[in-house]
A and B are shown apart, each in its own frame.
Chain A
Amino acid sequence: QKEVEQNSGPLSVPEGAIASLNCTYSDRGSQSFFWYRQYSGKSPELIMFIYSNGDKEDGRFTAQLNKASQYVSLLIRDSQPSDSATYLCAGGGGGYQKVTFGIGTKLQVIP
């Protein structure tokens, strides 16, 4: 069973701080990793994708991938109350068409 593990939280950070969300995966064959954001009562939407070891930055978001240690992280700089949501980590690839999702980490940004 391929697994993607996340701490369910909640993770509380003050407004303006850096939020750090982490994820580990068990399948060494996984090649692609995704971070989805899901607001309460809404569907997930993609915010970051990472394929290569290292960092990938997009605005206030930075995704980090370390394949040797099998972890993925998402950093949110200058956190805003509007960032309060559940963040889902997903991994897949290696020839598969599907991904495996973690349970999601609930982030609360305190004004």
Chain B
Amino acid sequence: DVKVTQSSRYLVKRTGEKVFLECVQDMDHENMFWYRQDPGLGLRLIYFSYDVKMKEKGDIPEGYSVSREKKERFSLILESASTNQTSMYLCASSSPPLTTGNEQFFGPGTRLTVL
């Protein structure tokens, strides 16, 4: 059974803290993605990676960074958490090329609250 796992389901942090969200996939996928999902705004892409140590900015990268040191693991880092980063964070993975219909498999999500 294919699986994308995320390190926490719920996380509460304080403003200014450094936050690490971890994502691991066991499908040997090249592509990995980080999204945030907010009511009325849908799924928005923060960063994605198409290979180890490779990354590209998505639509809303400000305030975030990522790390991909191993193929199966993709980390999202909030350098200094702010209240407007309170959201549901979803990780996904897929194998290229996307145009052939290879679906993105999503993790269960991490609901982050920044106080």
Interface residues of A (CB under 8 A from B): 1, 8, 31-32, 34, 42-46, 49, 51, 88, 92-104
A42-B108, A44-B90, A97-B56 known, 11 other contacts, Cβ within 8 Å = A32-B99, A32-B100, A46-B103, A46-B104, A88-B43, A92-B98, A97-B31, A97-B97, A98-B48, A101-B44, A103-B42
In the complex, the answer to whether A102 meets B42 with C-beta atoms within 8 Å is yes
Interface residues of B (CB under 8 A from A): 31, 33, 35, 40-45, 48, 50, 56, 58-59, 90, 96-101, 103-104, 106-109
In the complex, the answer to whether B106 meets A43 with C-beta atoms within 8 Å is yes
- A98: nearest chain-B partner, CB-CB: B48
In the complex, the answer to whether A93 meets B99 with C-beta atoms within 8 Å is yes
In the complex, the answer to whether B104 meets A99 with C-beta atoms within 8 Å is yes
* Known contacts A51-B99, A97-B50, A99-B98: A104-B42 contact under CB 8 Å: yes
